[in-house]
Structure formats: structure tokens, C-alpha cells
Amino acid sequence: MSNFKIAEDSVDPNAVPQRVLHTGAKMPGIGLGTFGSDRFSNEEIAEAVKGAISIGFRHIDCASVYGNEDYIGNALKEVMDSGEIKREELWITAKLWNDKHAPEDVIPACKKSLKDLQLDYVDLYLIHWPFPNFHEKGCDVDSRSPDAKGYIHENFMKTWRELEKLVEMGLVKHIGTSNMTIPKMKLLLKDAKIQPACNEMEMHPHMQQQEFFDYIIENGIAPIAFCPIGSPTRPDRDKTADDTVDIEDPIVLKIAKKLNVHPAVVCVKWAVQRGQTPIPFSVFRNEYLGNISCTISEPLTDEDMAELATIDKNNRLIKGHVFLWKDGQTWEDLWDMNGEVTPA
């Protein structure tokens, strides 16, 4: 028996902006993040998934490393058992974790996510990071995996080929990347048989990644924005003294005051209007309702958008220290700052 019901104050999912992908498929232009940053239980996150779907969300961003796909699977089953929502109305993303890049591990890892999510297919399957570097959950930023490696294109393509097979097997509708750079994406686009449909990347007003954003749009790839609010409550291990706070930015605060909304909502609204698909996380109904409602309310003015474009600080929050592979490196080495892939 399912107790799931569409809420009376639900936003019409058909009114929410959609992104048309290279296959012609439509992806809902806002999703719910499901990484609880160690602050929320799996039960709370699964409850948020049901709550978010009940108020109009149709896109859920999952990953095996978040450790909650089985709980989310129960939530999705309850939603679909209610008969109120069909599978094809939902957009579910899952991600291959770094310890499963070996070609023989990819298909089993995807099948495990499908089993946990209780689905026959996912709409999008991403390679979570372009490095096969594993680290223990919750470890500190100085921790390194002894067998960590840099980006080796030949190896990445072997992993990609397995993702292509997943499409051919019908287990995955689209494939994509996350935490990439322009130099790595150029290599992938040259060699992929099935091109990436989406690239999930950090984007918020203080980290706009304009050049990369333009590059992937030009290449027909839809950008998905993680940490769209600047992840204000991310774990302390992911914070550094120089990090800035988007929701305290004077321009964001000024627009929020004018619209009488939380500054977080300005970040989400800006993202959708700029053309990326934000996946804000929240387990609180008032917050996720605010996040989806703002996608259908009156748009930000051209002046607001122009002002928000000026506050980029190139402030990367998810620096990825734990994926470094050699002594003496800095996190910038992960991001190919000089325009070429950092040698492995």
C-alpha cells in the first residue's frame, strides 16, 4: 500500500523549464540533490524525495557513493505504486563511483544501483569523477589513496565504452560526465561513440565557469549544476578559509530582498534562467517548494542577470584534494588550470 499523493500546492511539472538533450529527450530543468553531507539520515533524504515529487519535482540526482540509493529506491517504489506517477515521468540520474572504473566493474556497478533504486533503467548515468581514485568516506583532505592515478585518457575511454554498452543494453538512456575540464572533454568528444548528454559541474553565482559552460553548450551537452546555492552547509572538511558565501553576497541579498525570497532562491532562479539545471539539496519542504516554485515565477530582470554575472569569484568549493595522486600537488592540478590535462 502506498500513501503517496500529489500535494494540493504542487507546482505543475509541465510548467517547469525542460532541457532538450542531443537525443531529443527532455530533462526537467531542476532536480533534487540527494547528498546529505553527513547531516541527514537516509530516511530523511528518502522522505524528501517523496515530498519533492509530491510538489512537482520529477528529476532526482542520485549516486552510489551517497550511500542511500536503496532508501531512495523504496521512496520511488512507493511513488510509482500509488499509480499517481509513471516511471517515464521521472528523470533519475545515478553515478559510477571512482572505485568502479575498471571495465569489468562498470556494468555490475550500474546493475547494483538499478537494483537499489528498484528501477529497470536510469535516465542518466554519469562517471562521477574522471579519476579512479578511491578514498574512505568522511576522510580528511590530506588523505590519499596509495594507488591513486591522474587522468589517463586511454583508461577513461575503456570506462566510457562500458557506459556505451549500458546504453546499448537499455539499462541507461543517456550517459555523461561530472567534474570534467575543457581539455578532458575535448579528448572525450573526439573519441566517444555515444556523446555525453550532460556534464554535472559545480556552478553557483560565485563559480560560474563561463568558458566551460559555453564550451559544453556549443557541443550540445546540457550542464547540470551541483552546489547551486554554494553548498552553505557542506561538511567542514570541504571548507577552506578563502571560500566565499554566495547567499551572503550583497547583490544576491539585494535581489532576494526585492523579491522577498531567501537568497538561496535567487541562486536557483539565476541558474535556471542562465540555462543550467540546478540540483539543490534540501530535506525541508518549505525550501524545496521554494526552489521549484521560483522556476515558474516571473523571471529575474535583465538587470538582475547582468549584476549576477559580475559576482563570479571562481570560488571552487569542491576542490577534490582527496583525489590527488602525487606528493607535492595542489588541488588546482585536478582542474587542468593551464589548459592541458595535468600529466598522470
Ligand X SMILES: NC(=O)c1ccc[n+]([C@@H]2O[C@H](COP(=O)([O-])OP(=O)(O)OC[C@H]3O[C@@H](n4cnc5c(N)ncnc54)[C@H](OP(=O)(O)O)[C@@H]3O)[C@@H](O)[C@H]2O)c1
Contact status: 200 vs ligand X (CB under 6 A): yes
Tell whether residue 333 is a contact of ligand X (CB under 6 A).
no
Among the listed ranges 100-108, 131-139, 191-199, 259-267, the one in contact with ligand X (CB under 6 A) is 259-267
Q: What is the DSSP string of 205-250?
A: TTB--HHHHHHHHHTT-EEEEESTT--TT--GGG--TT---GGG-H
Q: Exposed, middle or buried, 74 (CB in 10 Å: 0-12/13-18/19+)?
A: middle
Q: Which of 293, 295, 279 is nearest to 92 (CA)?
A: 279
Q: Is 262 in the site for ligand X (CB under 6 A)?
A: yes
- The reply to whether 66 belongs to the active site is yes
Residues 81 to 110: which contact ligand X by CB under 6 A?
none
DSSP per-residue letters across 85-113: S-GGG-EEEEEE-GGG-SHHHHHHHHHHH
Residue 257 is a binding residue for ligand X (CB under 6 A): no
The answer to the question of residue 117 lying near ligand X (CB under 6 A) is no
Q: Is 113 in the site for ligand X (CB under 6 A)?
A: no
Q: Of 66, 151, 215, 288, which residue is the catalytic one? A: 66
d(CA 279, CA 145): 29
Q: Does 6 bind ligand X (CB under 6 A)?
A: no
**Residue nearest ligand X, Cβ-based:** 33
Size of the chain, expressed as the number of residues it contains = 344
Which residue in the set 46, 53, 203, 227 belongs to the binding site for ligand X (CB under 6 A)?
A: 227
Q: Which stretch binds ligand X (CB under 6 A): 8-16, 163-171, 224-232, 326-334?
A: 224-232
Three cell numbers written together for 339:
589548459
| Binding residue (CB under 6 A) for ligand X from 54, 199, 282, 315 | 282
Could you tell me which of 23, 29, 28 has the C-alpha nearest to residue 275? 29
Q: What's the grid cell of residue 141?
A: 583532505
Cβ-based nearer residue to ligand X, 215 or 226: 226
Q: Is 233 in the site for ligand X (CB under 6 A)?
A: yes
Count of residues touching ligand X (by CB under 6 A) = 29
Exactly one of 226, 270, 323, 335 binds ligand X (CB under 6 A); which one?
226
The values of phi and psi at residue 175, to 5°, are: -125, 155
C-alpha cell at position 64: 552510489
Question: For binding to ligand X (CB under 6 A), which residues are involved?
Answer: 33-35, 61, 128, 178-179, 200, 226-234, 262, 264-265, 279-282, 284, 287, 290-291, 318
User: Which residues are catalytic, by number?
Assistant: 66
